[in-house]
Amino acid sequence: MAEKFFWADAIADQIIKQKGTKKEYVCASGITPSGQVHIGNFREVITTDMVVRALRDKGKKVRFIYSWDDFDRFRKVPAGVNKDYEKYLGMPISDIPSPFDDSMSYAEFNEEKFENSIGKVWIEPEFIYQNEMNKKCAYADLIKIALEKKDKIKEILNKFRKEPLEKDWWPIMIYCGACKKDLTKITSVDGYKISYECECGHSETFDIRKKGIVSIRWRIDWPLRWRYEHVDFEPGGIDHSVYGGSFTTSKEISKEVFDFEPPVYQFYEWIGIKGGQAFSSSAGNALMLSEVEEIYEPAVLRYLFVGTKPRSAFNISFDNDVISIYEKFDALEEKYFSGKCNPMEKRMYEMSVVNVPKKLPKRTGFRHLASLVQIGGADKIKEERVEKVRNWIEKYAGDDMKFEVQKKVSGKFNVKEKKALAELKKVLEEKEYKSDKELFDKFYEICEKVGIGNTEFFDAAYRAIIGKEKGPRLASLILMVGQKEIIKLLDTI
């Protein structure tokens, strides 16, 4: 089957082969919302989204879960946040206020932003908040197993550690029932009952089925949740994927401790930025999904990720390459509706647009819009793309893409140039041109008649119209601005 060429379809096949026929498959994704959620995290969720869609396209029922690890501890005060936040160190990030909006918790603020952003590109997983799961003691039975098999877990983890884990190490941590911090020490474990003491002086014995103050350590937490949700597929960043990394140990713990066959795994590479030096909004140079969404339409944004296998690194362009990316997407769409796509291209298009339109949608080319926007001619165009173009021109476009139509011609022109511009005016007065091509052909006639080189002619025309030597395609620029307007302008020489 030719469709196997598309990477997500290949992964879907592998899941079915490895996990067998199931009533429902579970695909998972998730992160700790400790700081701003960046584009690398987006790669994780869109990788899962594509695999979910590939499975569904094969007629399978799929549950797509996204887990927020928001019961993790607040580890350090990020740059730009008040030093005062040190008082929250060691508390769950779900239980401290956001420094940016005190109606929300630290975790909620980041979660909400990200959830809104991915919704815009049609990614709609079922969100699971680990602080809620832990607070309602959902994992008590599995935690009990982890506690009973603590030595086995230690043995697995120690294989990859230089320093073995300490004697009194436990696979869990406790948030103190009084001060809420994790500055606690477990003193005894008996079935579901745990005793601990805290640095604050508080100590107690509690039942893990009744009091949700247990936080599971990451390398145990991951396989425990595979087992709990019966996960069949999950991608992971390259940092988790190296030998001895958390995937290696989680796989083993999943089998040896929780008696669960680990999910099919796909690692994904990081994403870089090309252009867009103007970034300033995000601390620590982390590129936010919302910033990408400012200049890429949802389908084109998805297309960026569709076209690159998760294991390959790539850069998201903010420079003039944005134009060619839009052009490639438009070309793919046209090809799709002309019925000429090969199976791979067909899948790429379907995965990009998600809801395939009935017929070829009307889209204005990005390059053309970039000119229209700058001469105020895009106001009547009701396309989402107009706003993206505006944002791009304002923030990232190269100088060669920016221009402003002159109110009055300024600068000096030599005799030949003046003659050529007078000819141009005449040509524009003669008739109304219906196409760029029709007008464009006239330029060469002008050059021949006046005896001026093509380059010199274009140079003079650009200087007269937009006051710089280069600009958008001349014929198209003139027709966009309007012949009458250009005639008026040339009159001012």
Note whether 420 and 446 are within 8 A (CB).
Answer: yes
Report CA 288 to chain centroid distance, whole Å: 7
Q: Which of residues 220-249 bind Zn ion (CB under 5 A)?
A: none
3-class secondary-structure state, position 44: helix
Note whether 6 and 347 are within 8 A (CB).
Answer: yes
Among residues 50, 51, 142, 176, which is the contact residue for Zn ion, using CB under 5 A? 176
Letter for the amino acid at 490? L
Over the window 469 to 488, marking each residue x when it contacts Zn ion by CB under 5 A and - when it does not, the resulting string is: --------------------
The nearest distance, CB 210 to Zn ion, in angstroms, is: 19
Write out the DSSP string of 438-452. Answer: HHHHHHHHHHHHHT-
Rg (CA), the chain: 30
Beta strands in 84-180 (DSSP E): 126-129, 172-174
Among residues 75, 136, 161, 202, which is the contact residue for Zn ion, using CB under 5 A? 202
C-beta closer to Zn ion: residue 90 or 235: 90
The nearest distance, CB 15 to Zn ion, in angstroms, is: 44
The nearest distance, CB 198 to Zn ion, in angstroms, is: 3
Helix then strand count (H, E) for the chain reads 20, 12
In whole angstroms, what is the distance from residue 318 CA to residue 278 CA? 10
3-class secondary-structure state, position 67: strand
Range in contact with Zn ion (rule: CB under 5 A) among 127-135, 163-171, 177-185, 416-424: 177-185
Contacts of 41 (CB under 8 A, 6+ apart): 31, 114
* Residues touching Zn ion, count (CB under 5 A): 6
C-beta closer to Zn ion: residue 184 or 266: 184
C-beta closer to Zn ion: residue 202 or 407: 202
C-beta closer to Zn ion: residue 157 or 214: 214
C-beta closer to Zn ion: residue 202 or 311: 202
Two tokens, residue 160: 């990859």
Helix axes 106-120, 39-57, angle to 10 degrees: 50
Range in contact with Zn ion (rule: CB under 5 A) among 41-49, 128-136, 174-182, 278-286: 174-182
11 forms part of the interface with Zn ion (CB under 5 A): no
C-beta closer to Zn ion: residue 176 or 213: 176
In whole angstroms, what is the distance from residue 234 CA to residue 306 CA? 17
Among residues 11, 15, 157, 198, which is the contact residue for Zn ion, using CB under 5 A? 198
Closest of 141, 214, 152, 140 to residue 184, by C-alpha: 214
Among residues 2, 200, 242, 278, which is the contact residue for Zn ion, using CB under 5 A? 200
C-beta closer to Zn ion: residue 198 or 405: 198
C-beta closer to Zn ion: residue 213 or 405: 213
Range in contact with Zn ion (rule: CB under 5 A) among 74-82, 195-203, 326-334, 365-373: 195-203
Among residues 77, 145, 179, 286, which is the contact residue for Zn ion, using CB under 5 A? 179
Note whether 481 and 375 are within 8 A (CB).
Answer: yes
Range in contact with Zn ion (rule: CB under 5 A) among 171-179, 239-247, 332-340, 348-356: 171-179
C-beta closer to Zn ion: residue 66 or 196: 196
Closest of 68, 67, 98, 89 to residue 175, by C-alpha: 89
Letter for the amino acid at 458? F
C-beta closer to Zn ion: residue 6 or 196: 196
Range in contact with Zn ion (rule: CB under 5 A) among 117-125, 145-153, 173-181, 205-213: 173-181
Find where tokens 């594509």 sit: 50
The nearest distance, CB 202 to Zn ion, in angstroms, is: 5
Bridge partner residues of 214 (DSSP): 174
274 forms part of the interface with Zn ion (CB under 5 A): no
Two tokens, residue 214: 């247990």
Range in contact with Zn ion (rule: CB under 5 A) among 131-139, 148-156, 191-199, 270-278: 191-199
In whole angstroms, what is the distance from residue 218 CA to residue 30 CA? 12
The nearest distance, CB 350 to Zn ion, in angstroms, is: 54
Chain positions contacting Zn ion, by CB under 5 A: 176, 178-179, 198, 200, 202
